[in-house]
Amino acid sequence: MLNFTIRRLVLAVPTLLFISLVIFLLLELAPGDPMAQVPLTVPPEVKEKMREALGLGQPMHIRFWKWIVQFFWIEPQVLIDSIFGTTFSEGDLRVISWQTRSPVMDIVVQRIPQTLWVVGTAYVVAILIALPIGIYSAYRQYSWFDQMGTFVSMVGFSVPPFFSGVLVIVIFSVQLGWFPSIYDTTLVVNSWDSFMLQLKQMIMPVMVLALQITAQLSRFMRASMLDNLNQDYVRTARAKGLSEYTVVMVHVLRNSMIPVVTVIALGIPAIFGGAIITEQVFKVNGIGQLLIGAIQANDLPMVQTLTFIFAVLIVLFNLIADVLYGILDPRIRYD
Amino acid sequence: MKIKTLLLGAIASTAMAPMAMAERGSDGNVSIIYWQAPSILNPFLSGGTKDVEAASLVIEPLARYDQDGNMVPYLAAEIPTVENGGVSEDLTSITWKIAPGITWSDGTPFTSADVVFTANYCMDPDGGCAQVTKYEGVTSVEALDDLTVKVTFDAPTPFPYGPFVGGESPIIQAAQFADCMGAKAPECTEENFNPIGTGPFVVTEFKPNDVITFKANENYRDPAKPAFATVTFKGGGDATAAGRAVMETGEFDYAWNLQLAPEVIAQMEAGGKGTPVAGFGPLVERIMLNQTNPSPDLPEGERSTAQHPHPFLQDPAVYKALSMAIDRPLLVEIGYGQAGKVTCNWVPAPTAFNSTSMTCDTQDIDGANALLDEAGIVDTDGDGIREKDGVPLKIVYQTSTNAVRQDFQALIKEWWSQIGVETELRNINASVFFGGDPGSPDTFQKFYADVEMYANTFNGTDPQSYLGNGLCDKAPRPDTQWQGENISRFCNEEFDKLHAKLAETAGLEQRAEIAKQLNDIIVENGGMIPLVHRGRLSAHANTLGGVVLNVWDSELWNAADWYRKTGS
Amino acid sequence: MTDHDRTDSLVPDEGIVPVSTVLPGAAGVMEEFTTPPSSQWRDVWDQFKTHKGAMIGAVLFIFIVAGVYLGPYLWSIDPTQIDIRARNQGPSWAHPFGTDQLGRDILARMMSGGQTSVSVGITAMLLALFLGSLIGVVAGFFKRLDGPLMRLTDLFLALPLLPLLLVMMLLFREPLSAAFGLERGIFILIVCAIGITSWMPTARIVRGDVLAIKEREFVLAARSIGTSNTQIITRHILPNVLSPIMVSATLGIATAIITESALSFLGLGFPPDFPTWGRLLFDGVDYLQQYPERVFWPGLAISLTVLSVNYLGDGLRDALDPRIRGR
């Protein structure tokens, strides 16, 4: 197991380097101009000067090398500095965003809390709702509860968040006036009142997101349960005279959870990735909004860094899922 | 409303400014939403309106334009003119007197050294300053004494108010930015995010592309202002949500630039919590007519260049008919509502420069057909499309991807089909279309189409350099890497001569007269078809007082005068 | 095979013994081959018929597809025809779904938008399925290619999909529209973008199943009488992995339609003058309060299609699973 993990980790390094190159090349080749959003009243010569100031004049491989150095060498130093108060990185140029002319990582760190609050909560809520629904739907396959569950989860799956988001805003903010339609990222939770405010402003985005995640997870849970309910060991367990509750909630559930747990682990990178559309609709201004804004503004260092961080997370959680799988299912052996 | 009050309380309690003064900070918090989020508070490093306007709460120019486009002194004691001796007789220099007693928000005095520093900062060739055109022709900026600055130009400049006037050209503090000159400008994150200014507010926290919080400047020159203790400046989302937050839910007090369908604005206004306000600058949505042949059969490098004139678009009957077939009031109604007006002019504002010689507010399909028939441009082969000298009137009509523009395209295509002109519509992603990449065939400068539609405007109130966009030698062509502002490749000797005359003429009335003639020449000779004079539509909460929408300067130009209306 | 494999497939099983071989679920495959193949499809159909949801889904899906493709022959208003006097109208006999802000008939636009959406869904699904099955079968069948192909799959799984999709849209939009015309170019682009970013799960399921089936006696028997690899794959392996492929197919259509609408929202889908359901829904959202029907129809169309396709997939899965069949 340990061997396998180490081998996978070692293998991940070239994979990630290759991914970073692919992302870099894709971004380089994409047409688009970081100056496109500058108004027409700014003449082209000035725009050219601004482009040069961004370092766009340098050849591609130099810029890629620079990014690699900045991301893998200087940024970790900055991290160490900020933790231990050292000064390793002083005077080194960090990965700088073209939009804000400030270090990309600082903005990412600034955005992570709201994304974790909203998307993370939605994920937890979705898991809490999806698992019972999935279990019961499978246990009573084709009952009215199962049919309803299927229907609702499919509706949840098929309604795009830019529609459901606006719909809940119109209902709960405009008509009823219960919740704010714009997320306040400056709110500091330090008292019961501010916590209630935080709760209020989170309800709608969490609702919209959780609907989607629940839809998918409950389908997985149901399918996995169904698979196990027909197995021979279930029949054996019943034959032993175990109570129905023990059979389902202990024997079947435990086995069914194996694939579901890994699916949940695989979904975690998506939490950090944020929810591009939902964040946009509710003005949560988290990582997803940062990414789409950077793409629209052709802020290449920002897009490159963000997509690469996602790639790292995805690779990492793939590995965790594999290891989890091995731990949960003793029949699987890595060698 | 209750949520909002609570929210405001939470913010205000953490960042309440001292309440020593009688009035300052007495009205709590004001919240502003821009659907484009500011990414930097240094307007010299970003040309974006969102950044310029957010920064205008903090840093100020010597003089601003008011809502009518007149200059008003801010940090200057008065506006220098030839009459008061501020502008030299030969029009080559201007001397600004700074109002005495002004201090930066950190308490240090504001002096002419700061003004000189700002000029040097922006004119540094390595800095990539976005506002460098404001300093065009400036040879030197020198401090005569602590409160006097002299700007010298390389040639007579009848309009010497480029540097230090308007929101795009504010003054930054020399002491703060001293280490940020030239190539180091982008590295000064702290300075770029938290500039020290003379304006009514001071940055407390800047979250790029998200939210900015400000508090009242304790050292602001008017002890009674600003009325608000704090400002929350939220960015991001879309115009619909911003409008909704102000006019329907009342969560925010001011929403910027609501480019929305008129019905949507009307619906929001019915929400009763806010009011839309419109103001008109010189922004005109127009169709540019290509004077050169964009045919793909021509070799690359000759396509859309002056070597090959357009086969039919230079014919007066054709471009006049195309213009007559358009129902401009309907376009306004569908696309812009109260944020649009019918115009026949390239320069519709300021009022003194708006030519009144042409009318175009009624659609005349029959007249257009008659005009084409008279000119002998008729359908000879029975396919419903007219031909001129055997060339069918088939037009490629391109614009950027944008819902209103595609609606306009569909309508205009329909009208042009009624006068026997076939139109092929294309739309191009805005970042490519306006991107200016010389390698792309789809930029608006390259103009590989017969006609194209977009909007353009100019900063400030003087259209001289904007009118220069009609000069022969400003046409984009291969040897200028397809750069240049004369998009339609318009070329008219009379126009060029008259423009040279404008550059030498001082005196508003004479200048306005020449500018109107220039405007008429380009429109009457088929350089473009102006469609809609577009305004800026913003919305403010009904409880927010003192808002004066200003399109000539930052919309937040008078935020110091904003106050909370009582009794609501 | 069964749901179980579908869930497993999302787990990168680097170096793992293929799950299907160790899980008892695979045992069912044997039973299929104890009865003549001719009746297998009868069984499937019989089982499918009993799944009410699936039957309704199938009928509905066929109805929607027929509606968008054949509808325009019955309802002959041109979706681009502007009637400015009749704009923003509610439902009437002349315009059953009302008209939009330029007086275009919404029913006609729904049909023409549906053609695009359904075509995008089906074509993207076919592409993803083709790529996924090809890579899955090849990787499962030829041991030497297994490693490299699975690394490739891992690589694609590790690439963040939405940013990749967005970059692809930016990158290839212009050249493709130049080569194939604006609309067809974007169609090809969207289909390819969705197809290329969604084949990986299919490839993993198929590979797992192929690995299991390859070791079965009937394949061994076929090989022993000298059947060529190609024939083994097409005759013996493919029919047996059809079930997971079909299930991925139904899910693929739904995902593709949703992805297309998300792209429209982000401004990277089809241009505004080219209706698709996603685009119509997005355009209608601003008018949610004045003209709720503008979002209702496209929203309903998307939901119904996705729902019907999903139920169809559910039914197919049950019908193709021999352990459930015959219960």
What is the pLDDT averaged over residues C8-35? 36
Do C57 and C312 touch, CB atoms closer than 8 A? yes
C280: closest chain B residue by CA: B403
User: What's the Cα-to-Cα distance from A142 to each of A137, A215, A216, C51, C308, rounded to whole Å?
Assistant: 8, 17, 18, 9, 16
C170 contact residues in A (CB cutoff 8 A): 30-32, 295
The rounded distance, in Å, linking the Cα atoms of B321 and B366 is: 10
Do A170 and A164 touch, CB atoms closer than 8 A? no
pLDDT at B249 over 70: yes
Measured from the Cβ of residue B395, the count of other Cβ atoms closer than 10 Å reads 22
Q: Which residues contact A168 (CB under 8 A, 6 or more apart)?
A: A204, A207, A208
The rounded distance, in Å, linking the Cα atoms of C296 and C288 is: 9
Question: Where does B43-153 have alpha helices with state H?
Answer: 49-55, 112-123
Which pLDDT value is given to residue C316?
A: 79
Do B411 and C82 touch, CB atoms closer than 8 A? yes
**Is A181–B48 a contact, with Cβ atoms under 8 angstroms apart?**
no
B334 contact residues in C (CB cutoff 8 A): 84, 87, 101-102
Rg (CA), chain A: 24
A109 contact residues in B (CB cutoff 8 A): none
C307 contact residues in A (CB cutoff 8 A): 151, 154-155, 158
Which uninterrupted H or E stretch holds B36? none
- Write the residue in B1, B193, B454 that is nearest to A102 by C-beta: B193
Which candidate, B401, B415, B396, places its Cα nearest to that of B454?
B401
Q: Would you place residue B367 in the very low, low, confident or very high pLDDT band (cuts 50, 70, 90)? A: very high
Do B318 and B503 touch, CB atoms closer than 8 A? no
Which pLDDT value is given to residue C256?
A: 84
pLDDT at B7 over 70: no
**Is C287–B261 a contact, with Cβ atoms under 8 angstroms apart?**
yes
Which pLDDT value is given to residue B320?
A: 92
C223 touches chain B (CB under 8 A): no
What is the pLDDT averaged over residues A135-141? 84
Strand-pairing partners, residue A230, are none
pLDDT at C23 over 80: no
B140 to chain C, closest Cα gap in Å: 44
- Write the residue in C13, C158, C289 that is nearest to A314 by C-beta: C158
For chain A, the average pLDDT equals 80
**Encoded tokens for C210:** 């192929």
B398: closest chain C residue by CA: C182
Q: Domains of chain B by range and CATH?
A: 280-535 (3.10.105.10)
Q: Would you place residue A33 in the very low, low, confident or very high pLDDT band (cuts 50, 70, 90)? A: low
**Is A31–B435 a contact, with Cβ atoms under 8 angstroms apart?**
yes
Measured from the Cβ of residue A62, the count of other Cβ atoms closer than 10 Å reads 10
| Distance from chain centroid for Cα C136 | 17
- Write the residue in C82, C174, C272 that is nearest to B403 by C-beta: C272
Higher-confidence residue: B491 or A1?
A: B491
A173 contact residues in B (CB cutoff 8 A): 244, 248-249, 251
Most confident of A232-236, C16-20, C30-34, C263-267: A232-236
Measured from the Cβ of residue B128, the count of other Cβ atoms closer than 10 Å reads 23
Measured from the Cβ of residue B477, the count of other Cβ atoms closer than 10 Å reads 21
Which pLDDT value is given to residue B230?
A: 92
The phi, psi pair for B204, rounded to 5°, reads -100, -45
Which candidate, C10, B487, B232, B562, places its Cα nearest to that of A44?
B487
**Is A166–C303 a contact, with Cβ atoms under 8 angstroms apart?**
no
The phi, psi pair for A108, rounded to 5°, reads -60, -45
Which pLDDT value is given to residue A334?
A: 56
pLDDT at C11 over 70: no
Which pLDDT value is given to residue C18?
A: 32
**Encoded tokens for C317:** 């899965």
Which pLDDT value is given to residue A89?
A: 67
- List b or e across B489-526, with b for residues whose CB sees 16 or more CB atoms inside 10 angstroms: bbbbeebbebbeebbebeeeeebbbbbbbbbbbbbebb
Higher-confidence residue: B432 or A73?
A: A73
Strands B29-34 and B230-235: parallel
A326 contact residues in C (CB cutoff 8 A): 16
Mutate to test the interface with C, among B401, B412, B431, B432 (most CBs of C within 10 A): B401
B130: closest chain A residue by CA: A46
pLDDT at C276 over 60: yes
A62 to chain B, closest Cα gap in Å: 18
- Write the residue in C102, C285, C286 that is nearest to B411 by C-beta: C102
Q: Which residues contact B99 (CB under 8 A, 6 or more apart)?
A: B73, B75, B76, B77, B221
Which pLDDT value is given to residue B436?
A: 66
- CA angle, corner C299, sides to C298 and C304, nearest 5? 100
B272 touches chain A (CB under 8 A): no
- Write the residue in C3, C171, C285 that is nearest to A30 by C-beta: C171
pLDDT at C15 over 50: no
C196 to chain B, closest Cα gap in Å: 23
Q: Which residue, chain included where needed, has tokens 């503008």?
A: C294
Three-class SS string for C60-97?
A: HHHHHHHHHHHHHHHCCCCCCCCCHHHCCCCCCCCCCC
The rounded distance, in Å, linking the Cα atoms of B503 and B449 is: 32
Interface pTM, i.e. ipTM:
0.77
**Is C273–B425 a contact, with Cβ atoms under 8 angstroms apart?**
yes
For chain C, the average pLDDT equals 75
Q: What is the pLDDT of residues B39-67, one digit of tens each?
A: 888 888 876 788 888 999 999 999 998 88
C274: closest chain B residue by CA: B406
A228 touches chain B (CB under 8 A): no
Mean pLDDT is lowest, of A20-29, B32-41, C152-161, for C152-161
**Is A101–B192 a contact, with Cβ atoms under 8 angstroms apart?**
yes
Do C137 and C233 touch, CB atoms closer than 8 A? yes
Which pLDDT value is given to residue C327?
A: 44
Q: Which residues contact A245 (CB under 8 A, 6 or more apart)?
A: none
C19 contact residues in A (CB cutoff 8 A): 332
- Write the residue in B11, B183, B432 that is nearest to A31 by C-beta: B432
Q: What is the pLDDT of residues A198-241, one digit of tens each?
A: 888 888 888 888 888 888 788 788 888 887 887 788 888 888 88
**Is A31–C170 a contact, with Cβ atoms under 8 angstroms apart?**
yes
A53 contact residues in B (CB cutoff 8 A): 126-128, 183, 185-186
The rounded distance, in Å, linking the Cα atoms of A285 and A279 is: 6
pLDDT at B504 over 90: no
Question: Where does chain A have alpha helices with state H?
Answer: 2-29, 44-53, 60-69, 75-84, 104-115, 121-139, 144-158, 161-168, 192-229, 232-239, 244-245, 253-273, 276-282, 287-296, 300-328
Q: Crossing angle for the helix pair A253-273 and A121-139, nearest 10 degrees?
A: 150
Q: What is the pLDDT of residues B550-562, one digit of tens each?
A: 888 888 988 888 9
The rounded distance, in Å, linking the Cα atoms of C296 and C287 is: 11
Q: What is the pLDDT of residues B133-190, one digit of tens each?
A: 788 888 999 999 989 999 999 888 888 888 898 888 899 999 898 888 877 777 788 8
What is the pLDDT averaged over residues B207-212? 87
Higher-confidence residue: B8 or A330?
A: A330
Which candidate, B291, B299, B260, places its Cα nearest to that of B276?
B260
B223 touches chain A (CB under 8 A): no
The rounded distance, in Å, linking the Cα atoms of B237 and B33 is: 9
Which pLDDT value is given to residue B14?
A: 39
Listing DSSP states for B409-452 in one string gives HHHHHHHHHTTT-EEEEEEE-HHHHTT--TT-TTSTTT--SSEE
C43 touches chain A (CB under 8 A): no
Do A167 and C288 touch, CB atoms closer than 8 A? yes
Which pLDDT value is given to residue B201?
A: 92
A144: closest chain C residue by CA: C53
- Write the residue in C3, C163, C281 that is nearest to A224 by C-beta: C3
Which uninterrupted H or E stretch holds B285? strand B274-289
Do B29 and B214 touch, CB atoms closer than 8 A? no
C95 to chain B, closest Cα gap in Å: 20
Strands B340-342 and B387-388: unpaired
Strand-pairing partners, residue B32, are B233, B254
- Write the residue in A52, A106, A297 that is nearest to B128 by C-beta: A52
Which pLDDT value is given to residue C197?
A: 81
- List b or e across B542-554, with b for residues whose CB sees 16 or more CB atoms inside 10 angstroms: ebbeebebbbbbb
Residues 466-525 of B with CB under 8 A from A: 483-485
Which candidate, B216, B526, B493, places its Cα nearest to that of B346?
B526
B261 contact residues in C (CB cutoff 8 A): 101, 286-287
Mean pLDDT is lowest, of B418-432, B491-505, B507-521, C16-30, for C16-30
Instruction: Please report, rounded to a whole number, the percentage of residues in chain C having pLDDT higher than 70.
Output: 80
Q: What is the pLDDT of residues C93-125, one digit of tens each?
A: 777 888 887 788 888 888 888 888 888 888 998
The phi, psi pair for C227, rounded to 5°, reads -70, 140
B136 touches chain A (CB under 8 A): no
Which pLDDT value is given to residue C162?
A: 66
**Is B263–C289 a contact, with Cβ atoms under 8 angstroms apart?**
no
A269: closest chain C residue by CA: C160
Which pLDDT value is given to residue B68?
A: 83
**Encoded tokens for A72:** 């893998």
Do A95 and A305 touch, CB atoms closer than 8 A? yes
The rounded distance, in Å, linking the Cα atoms of A145 and A134 is: 10
Which pLDDT value is given to residue C8?
A: 34
For residue B187, the 8-state DSSP code is G
The phi, psi pair for B340, rounded to 5°, reads -145, 155
Q: Which residues contact A13 (CB under 8 A, 6 or more apart)?
A: none
Which pLDDT value is given to residue C322?
A: 62
Measured from the Cβ of residue C224, the count of other Cβ atoms closer than 10 Å reads 9
Q: Would you place residue B2 in the very low, low, confident or very high pLDDT band (cuts 50, 70, 90)? A: very low
User: What's the Cα-to-Cα distance from A3 to each of B402, B512, C127, rounded to whole Å?
Assistant: 55, 82, 38
Chains with ≥3 CB–CB distances under 8 Å to C = A, B
Residues 7-36 of A with CB under 8 A from B: 31-33, 35-36
pLDDT at B445 over 90: no
